[in-house]
Amino acid sequence: MAAEGSSSIDALSQFKLSTALGPIGASVNFTQSNMMMVIAGLLTLALLWVGMRPRAMVPGRLQAAAELAYEFILSMCTETIGPEGRRFFPFVFSLFFFILFGNLMGVFPYAFTFTSHIAVTLALSLLVFILVTVVALKEHGVHFFSYFVPAGVPKVLIPLMVLIEVISYLSRIISLSVRLFANMMAGHVMLEVFGAFIVMLGAAGAIGWIPAALSLSVNTALIGFELLVATLQAYVFAVLTCIYLHDAVHLH
Amino acid sequence: MSEERGGAGDSFEDRLKAARSRRGLDAPSSGGSPWGIGLRVGVELVAALVVAVAIGYGLDWIFGTRPILTAVFVPLGGAAGVLNVYRLFAPKRGEGGGAHNG
């Protein structure tokens, strides 16, 4: 989020990809986005591995966090999907913490938010979509396609309803990915815009100092808001995954 | 720790849940800020439309019937978007035995 010395607000250059890890990264096109993904994965592992190493009866702070995380996702799975939800617990857990750490790390200056790229969120939502469809096909076989035929519809309307249902089913890919992407991107654009206000107004002399201070306070509030959005969007993504898995396991 | 649930523990869980919701400690799950709800509705509507246009355009491209199928699928996408929004606010299917399949 560096806008120093620039006279115009350049809110989107923060999403530009560049290669990380020097010449090695450049030769295989390993971007800073990939770098943050690796870090997010490692942090998830570290939370569990380092957190659970003491195996204390009375947990310390990190162990308590790890246990809370485990139980939070487990109860989300079992309550939303049902008793079968345990099977999907590892998937939902990895998904939630991958997105959560990606979102949270993005709030730090100089860090990159990989969830602010539609390519990443679309890949994640395609993963969820394909998993849900495969689970539904495995559970119900051909009967799965009855999902697209709503009950109690006159025969004449069934072709129309099936089409609408299929579109509605496919639109999950878009809505799941766009929601996460739009939230993260909008938040970071706002931060950048108000950050640029601070610099530009602050440089404009004494007249600009009061509005610059106002922008600074807005940005302070925005950082807090971003933390909320980061957690909330990871939660929403995981909960929607659970709801879709519930539909796949129970059909209706 | 949640392994202790089930069996006799259920009644305590239920009572705890009831007490928590009485005190307003559990946030209502379908709630969220008006801004959040608005964004969700918007995303659902647009997503269905995007998928429908993509399907219509793709089929047009395959069959060479350029504007017709896109035009057919746009209202269908709008309908699917409304269906999505209805599902968002319809009574929950799995709750309270109300077998409502939307």
Categorize the per-residue pLDDT at A57 as very low, low, confident or very high, splitting at 50, 70 and 90: confident
Categorize the per-residue pLDDT at B23 as very low, low, confident or very high, splitting at 50, 70 and 90: low
Task: Look at residue A14 in the predicted model and tell me its pLDDT.
Answer: 83
Longest dimension (CA), chain B: 65
Task: Look at residue B5 in the predicted model and tell me its pLDDT.
Answer: 44
Residue B79 near residue A164 (C-beta atoms within 8 A): yes
**Domain that residue B59 falls in:** 32-89
What b/e readout covers A202-227, taking b as 16+ CB neighbours within 10 angstroms? eeeeeebeeebeebbebbeebeeebe
Task: Look at residue B34 in the predicted model and tell me its pLDDT.
Answer: 81
Identity of the residue in B44, B47, B80 whose CB atom sits nearest the CB atom of A164: B80
Please report whether residue A152 resides in a domain. no
Please report whether residue B61 resides in a domain. yes
**Hey, which residues does A31 pair with through a beta bridge?**
A19
Q: From CA A187, how far away is CA A104, in angstroms rounded?
A: 12
Tell me the whole-structure pTM to 2 decimals. Answer: 0.81
Please report whether residue B58 resides in a domain. yes
Asked if A183 lies within 8 A of B39 by C-beta distance, the reply is: yes
Please report whether residue A225 resides in a domain. yes
Please tell me the total count of domains within chain B.
Answer: 1
Identity of the residue in B39, B47, B94 whose CB atom sits nearest the CB atom of A171: B47
Region A26-55 average pLDDT: 90
Task: Look at residue B93 in the predicted model and tell me its pLDDT.
Answer: 53
Cβ contacts of A27 within 8 Å, gap of 6 or more: none
Please report whether residue A168 resides in a domain. no
B81 CB burial (10 A radius; 0-12, 13-18, 19+): buried
What's the distance, CA B42 to chain centroid?
Answer: 12
Please tell me the total count of domains within chain A.
Answer: 1
Instruction: Summarize pLDDT for A9-31 with one digit per residue, the tens.
Output: 787 888 888 888 888 888 888 99
Task: Look at residue B97 in the predicted model and tell me its pLDDT.
Answer: 37
Instruction: Summarize pLDDT for A215-249 with one digit per residue, the tens.
Output: 999 999 999 999 999 999 999 999 999 999 998 99
For chain A, what's the residue count? Answer: 252
Q: What backbone phi and psi angles, to 5 degrees, belong to A89?
A: -55, -50
Please report whether residue A165 resides in a domain. no
Region A34-47 average pLDDT: 93
Asked if A178 lies within 8 A of B47 by C-beta distance, the reply is: yes
Task: Look at residue A3 in the predicted model and tell me its pLDDT.
Answer: 43
Q: Which amino acid is at A151?
A: A
DSSP, residue by residue, B30-80: T---HHHHHHHHHHHHHHHHHHHHHHHHHHHHHHT-HHHHHHHHHHHHHHH
Please report whether residue A40 resides in a domain. yes
Region B50-61 average pLDDT: 93
Region A53-74 average pLDDT: 89
Q: State whether residue A31 is helix, strand or coil.
A: strand
Query: How close does chain B come to A78, measured CA to CA in Å?
Result: 11
Asked if B43 lies within 8 A of A179 by C-beta distance, the reply is: yes
Average pLDDT score over chain A: 89
Task: Look at residue B7 in the predicted model and tell me its pLDDT.
Answer: 44
Count other Cβ atoms within 10 Å, centred on residue B59.
15
Residues of B in contact with A165 (CB under 8 A): 80, 83
Instruction: Summarize pLDDT for A85-115 with one digit per residue, the tens.
Output: 899 999 999 999 999 999 999 998 888 999 9
Please report whether residue B52 resides in a domain. yes
Least confident of A10-14, A155-159, A191-195, B79-83: A10-14
Residues of A in contact with B1 (CB under 8 A): 67, 71
Region B21-45 average pLDDT: 71
pLDDT beyond 90 at A180: yes
- Residue found under tokens 């009866």: A57
**Domain that residue A93 falls in:** 18-140+174-250
Please report whether residue A88 resides in a domain. yes
Query: Which value does ipTM take for this structure?
Result: 0.70
Identity of the residue in B2, B43, B77 whose CB atom sits nearest the CB atom of A167: B77
Q: From CA A236, how far away is CA A242, in angstroms rounded?
A: 10
Percentage of residues of chain A with pLDDT beyond 70: 97
Please report whether residue A94 resides in a domain. yes
Query: Residues 72..91 of A with a Cβ closer than 8 Å to B: which?
Result: 74-75, 82
Region B45-68 average pLDDT: 91
Please report whether residue B27 resides in a domain. no
Residue of chain B with shortest Cα separation from A86:
B3
Q: From CA B24, how far away is CA B45, in angstroms rounded?
A: 32
Query: Residues 9..68 of B with a Cβ closer than 8 Å to A: which?
Result: 36, 39-40, 43-44, 46-48, 50-52, 55
